[in-house]
Amino acid sequence: MESHNAEATSTGRNETPNEQQDRNWNDILQELRVMQTGVQIIAGFLLTLPFQQRFDDLKPAAVALYLILVVLAATATCLMLVPVALHRQMFRLQRKSTVVSTGHLVLKTVLVLVGLLITGTTTLIYYVVVGGTAGAIVAGVFSAVLVGGLFIYPRIVKYNQVK
């Protein structure tokens, strides 16, 4: 019972380690659901592009970017299935901590892939609609936002919370 009280003191919650693992797993699933919708919308958009009349007019660089984006979308979609598949394989084996820690790592990877997918898709749209220079500017801006939002800002918040 002491570890239960220590856990409640350290997290501010009165939950057992199993309850904490359940809560963490539910958080991971909710985050995956939110990202899955966005990835599906972008993937659907990407899959329609080759059937558009202007697609044949794309320069090789734009076609290469498009193909990279299709691979990113497919990879992100596949990786989002990993935590669920792992959960199915470990169901009722009392291995929730493994499922949660692995799901956390996969989710961090998917976050980066989704950020790259959004950056690349926006870049491709600007490249096609406005031109290569505009596409390059958008790529730079979104890359900076991605690095700031996924890596720098969370570390600043974490550092300030530790103080």
Residue 4 is predicted with a pLDDT of: 46
Higher model confidence: residue 91 or residue 53?
53
Residue 3 is predicted with a pLDDT of: 46
Whole-angstrom distance, CA of residue 68 vs CA of residue 123: 12
pLDDT over 80 (residue 11):
no
**Four-residue CA torsion sign, 153, 155, 161, 163:** negative
Q: What is the CA radius of gyration of the chain?
A: 20
pLDDT over 90 (residue 15):
no
Structural domain boundaries in the chain:
2-162
Structure letter (DSSP) for residue 152: I
What distance lies between CA 108 and its chain's CA centroid?
6
pLDDT tens digits, 87-134: 888 777 777 788 888 888 999 999 999 999 999 999 999 999 999 999
- Give mean pLDDT, residues 150-156: 92
Residue 49 is predicted with a pLDDT of: 87
Percent of the chain with pLDDT over 70: 93
pTM over 0.85: no
